[in-house]
Structure 1
Amino acid sequence: MGRGSVPDTDRGRRRALATVLAIVFIDLLGFGIVVPILPFYVRSFGVSDVFIGLLAAAYSLLQFGSTPALGRLSDERGRRPVLVLSLAGATLAWLVLALGGTVETAFGTAAGLATLFVARALAGAMGGNIAAAQAYVTDVTPAAERAGALGLVGAAFGLGFVFEPALGAVFASDPVVTAADRLLPAVVPVTAVSLPSFAAAGFSAVALVATVLVLPEPDRTRAAPGPRGLIAPFRTALADVTLRPLVGVFFVASLAFSGVQVAFIPCVADRFGYTASAAGLLLTYIGALGVLNQGVLVGWLSRRVRDTRLAAAGAGLLVGALATLPFATDHGACLPPWLSIFGEGPRLVVLLVVLAVLSLGNSLLNVGLAATVSRSASEATQGTAFGVTQGAGSLGRTIGPPLMTGLHVLAIAAPFLLGAGLTVGVLAALVGIDRARP
């Protein structure tokens, strides 16, 4: 079936959709296992935490450069070849990452860090598989059902947040590391930071094999070869009056939300006194809500609300949640003590409610934007459109973390308040886009 095409039946399209979603989920499991381990990996080299942020920026910067090109390539050559290429590259990237400690022991700290940067840069360059997967979903889904189907891609991300922390903890635990050290050949370096990297390589390899053997190429109109180069896809998109504002919205939304991504754990630690374990449970809670929102609720809403209004509603909810999150302890003090849960005071209730609003807003915004991008591009240029907008998001995630961490040092609430302010701009842009649509 892998060498064939998607059958032109509802059953065939559903099967193809389920297959690509499973492949995305398997690949994301590997990604999520390693990301929480990376800070400890960097610290094992005895260097500053600044390198943690630089590694994140290296990934996002290469993703910014490669995603539009891979999206365009998927329009011209096919979704399946691009997925195969990116998954093969991701497998190699995780293997290189696992060898960073060995290189450091043999050749010194500088060489070890260079290995980590090469690995993260390669992983970022191969990060265009999400854009190709989104384009694949639009290929096998009728236009009226695309928002719900794209929501399922977001649900795959949410499921990753539920399972990834636990899997990462398992592969980094002493019993598993000890057992792996006994079972694997002596040439394989086994540590609490290398073993999760090898596991991530294994998950990407499984997704690669599934893509080659099981995933069919969708029937669609192929795009004619276009101009090459890093800038060409962005120039083409920015010349399109329909896509131009969406590129800007993706950039600003990603920049705004990066404040949550980098400042959430320090915020709950400082404001609530929560440990890493408690913060991990909150992340799992957010992931579970994301699965529910994007897998069920967004699909239901998308059949009743147009995609631009769905995205605008999400942006509005995010403004409120971002502005409220760092002050949840203050709001909790105003509630009666009987609202306490899990032995915590009412402030936990406020925090959980704010995080629920945050998760819903993020789900509506992401899915609404993705559906809007799909409607704004022709059937032959879906990959290019997703690649350019995802690339703009990667640029926002490159600039955001250093900016937001610097603000967090100045004031705990600053990244969240700036994120809320930027999201007001996103909301205004989406309202304008919606009014311009017939």
Structure 2
Amino acid sequence: MKEKRATSLIFAIMVLDLLGAGILLPILPYYVRAYRTDALTVGLLSLAFSAAQFLSSPALGAVSDRIGRRPVLLWSIFGSAAGYFLFGLAGSLWMLFAARLLDGVTGGNISTAQAYLADISAPGDRARNFGLVGAAWGIGFVAGPALGGALAGFGLAAPAFGAGVCSLLTFAAAYLFLPESLPSARRAQSGVTLAAVNPFRQLAWGIRHASLAPVLAAVFLFHFPMAGLQSNFSLFTLEKFAFTPSDNAWAFVFLGVMVSLLQGLILRRFVKDFGKTAYLYLGLWIMAAGYVVLAFSPNVAILYVSMVLTALGSSLAAPTLTALVSQCVPEDQQGAALGVNQSVLSLTRVAGPVWAGWLFDVWGPPAPYWTAVFWLGCALLLISARRGR
């Protein structure tokens, strides 16, 4: 019962946290267009957040292995609130970048929540419980974009202030109700050294780890094109279908509903009935089909079909990859491994939006999506090779 209560609490906190992130999604490209109109600048804004998150995530993961998950989670959530409020107050492009950098430096929210789930879950239940992260993303991207689209009617800065309020509510909920998940006896006993908080050293540790390295590489290849999609989907629909911020808000709402239903209900109910690697294979194939349909969608109806496919593929593959990362290390390295995993995700959000923005400007709006099939194929080959050893 205690485990179920803690799981419910961390899920509620993730939903509130991702609600704040979801609020900004439909309006971000429109906000940037007040200063620059190219897709690459939108990608560079995503790069600023993700580069800062890459530098900080291993440190936050290592610290959480030593002092516990709760204080690190509280720090991360408060930093997100400050970043959102600064974004809303920004009156220039450089202030937008500064706001995203601040949010990124403190951006250990989800990786710390994943480590929390790993602490309270039996190894066999981790894939099922990591599915809660996807469900939280789904709910955040249902209510968040809808709220962001509504708030945009009061000005483009209003969604940023709304996101800041959501983060403050998340902080309050975590401070008041969330217990610590990592007992002192299970914490890493060594002090936090410069080597432990060096993101490149931590990343190198993950790369040298024989069983972890191929999984981390597959994580990168899977999320790289997805990061590009998340950063310029609103630009794609604006260029191809003349979507307004409200239209994009409803598109993200639809995608969020699909992810929430798939990961919150189907994956958690049926994951034990399937082999994990087969589950991942199926997700990669469906995801590839979704990208192709998205790239060449002739109308809005087919666009929505592509979103169903990408949501299904992601719901099958993403939590399984996270579970594989968790299973590669012992209990006292969960925070470090998931921190490195978050660093890899941050690298995809550094490279993916810039790559997608460049392709969008040079090769045309569909290019970031049909080229995604190549990256997913590489991930499939890596996982197949790992299984064969």
Deviation by residue 1:84-106 (Cα, 9 ceiling, x = unmatched): 111121122222223223xxxxx
Distance in 2 separating the partners of 1:18 and 1:54: 36
Task: Give the letter aligned to residue 27 of structure 1.
Answer: D
Question: What does the per-residue CA deviation read over 1:2-31, in whole Å, with 9 as the maximum and x for residues that have no partner?
Answer: xxxxxxxxx111111111111111111122
Flag the 1:234–1:115 CA change in 2: closer, same or farther, 3 A.
Answer: same
- Per the TM alignment, residue 378 of structure 1 is displaced from its structure 2 partner at its CA by 0.9
Q: Does 1:132 align with 2:112?
A: yes
Distance 1:116 1:266 in 2: 18
Q: 1:116 to 1:140 in 2, by over 3 A?
A: same
Higher mean alpha-carbon deviation, 24-33 vs 364-373, is at 24-33
**TM-fit CA distance, 1:138:** 1.3
> Do 1:250 and 1:390's aligned partners in 2 also have CA atoms closer than 8 Å?
no
Structure-2 residue corresponding to 1:120? 100
| Residue of structure 1 equivalent to 2:254 | 285
- Measure how far apart 1:217 and its partner are: 0.5
**Cα 1:83–1:402, aligned 2, differ >3 Å: closer, same or farther?**
same
Task: For residue 415 of structure 1, report the CA deviation from its aligned partner.
Answer: 1.4
Preserved contact between residue 25 and residue 157 of structure 1 (Cα < 8 Å): yes
- What does residue range 42-81 of structure 1 map to in structure 2 within 5 Å? 42-44=32-34, 46-49=35-38, 50-81=40-71
Q: Equivalents in 2 of 1:327, 1:37: separation in Å?
A: 24
Aligned to 2:26: 36
Answer yes or no: is the 8 Å Cα contact 1:76–1:223 preserved in 2. Answer: yes
- Which moved further from structure 2: 384-393 or 245-254? 245-254
Match of 1:223 among 184, 188, 195: 188
Offset at 1:361? 0.5
Bigger radius of gyration among the two: 1
Give the number of aligned pairs: 381
Aligned CA-pair RMSD = 2.1
Please say if 1:211 is aligned against 2:174: yes
2:355 alignment counterpart = 403
Offset of 1:274 from its aligned partner? 5.2
Query: Which of 75, 84, 87 pairs up with 1:85?
Result: 75
Q: Please name the residue that 1:306 is paired with.
A: 275
Structure 1 position 276, deviation (Å) = 4.8
1:248-303 superposed Cα distances (whole Å, 9 cap, x missing partner): 11222221223432443444455556555444333222111100111011123321
Aligned CA distance change for structure 1 residues 171 and 370 (closer, same or farther; 3 Å): same
The gaps in structure 1 that reach 5 residues or longer are 1-10, 102-111, 175-191, 330-346
SS at match of 2:307: helix
State whether structure 2 residue 163 is matched by structure 1 residue 200: yes
Q: 1:353 aligns with which of 275, 290, 305?
A: 305
Deviations 1:76-129 (A, max 9, x none): 11100110111121122222223223xxxxxxxxxx333222211010111111
Structure 1 residues 294 and 24: alpha-carbon distance in aligned structure 2, compared to 1, 3 A threshold: same
Contact 2:24 2:160 in 1 (8 A): yes
2:128 maps to 1:148: yes
Q: By how many angstroms is 1:223 displaced?
A: 1.8
Distance 2:41 2:134 in 1: 29
Unaligned runs of 5+ in 2: none
Contact preservation (8 Å) 1:32, 1:161: yes
Which residue of the other structure, out of 323, 340, 358, is the alignment partner of 1:371? Answer: 323
Given that 1:64 and 1:391 are in contact with CA atoms closer than 8 Å, whether structure 2 keeps it comes out as: yes
- Find the partner of 2:151 among 167, 171, 187: 171
Tell me, yes or no, if structure 1 residue 424 matches structure 2 residue 362.
Answer: no
Cα distance change, pair 55–284 in 1 and its aligned pair in 2 (3 A): same
5 Å-filtered alignment, 1:270-281, equals 270-271=239-240, 276-281=245-250
Contact kept, 8 Å, 2:20 with 2:166, in 1: the verdict is yes
Supply the AA of the counterpart residue of 2:224. Answer: L
Once residues 304 and 84 of structure 2 are traced to their aligned partners in structure 1, the CA distance between those partners, rounded to angstroms, is 34
Q: 1:95 to 1:261 in 2, by over 3 A?
A: closer
Q: Which amino acid aligns with 2:161?
A: F
Task: Return closer, same or farther for 1:351/1:41 CA change in 2, 3 Å cut-off.
Answer: closer
The amino acid of 1:222's aligned partner reads R
TM-score (normalised: structure 1): 0.81
Conserved? CA contact 1:271–1:326, under 8 Å? no
Q: 1:402 to 1:244 in 2, by over 3 A?
A: same
Q: CA 1:98 to 1:162, structure 2 compared with 1: closer, same or farther past 3 Å?
A: same
Higher share in helix? 2
Partner of 2:3: 13
Q: 1:282 to 1:99 in 2, by over 3 A?
A: closer
Deviation at 1:348, TM superposition (A): 5.3
Q: How high is the TM-score relative to the length of structure 2?
A: 0.91
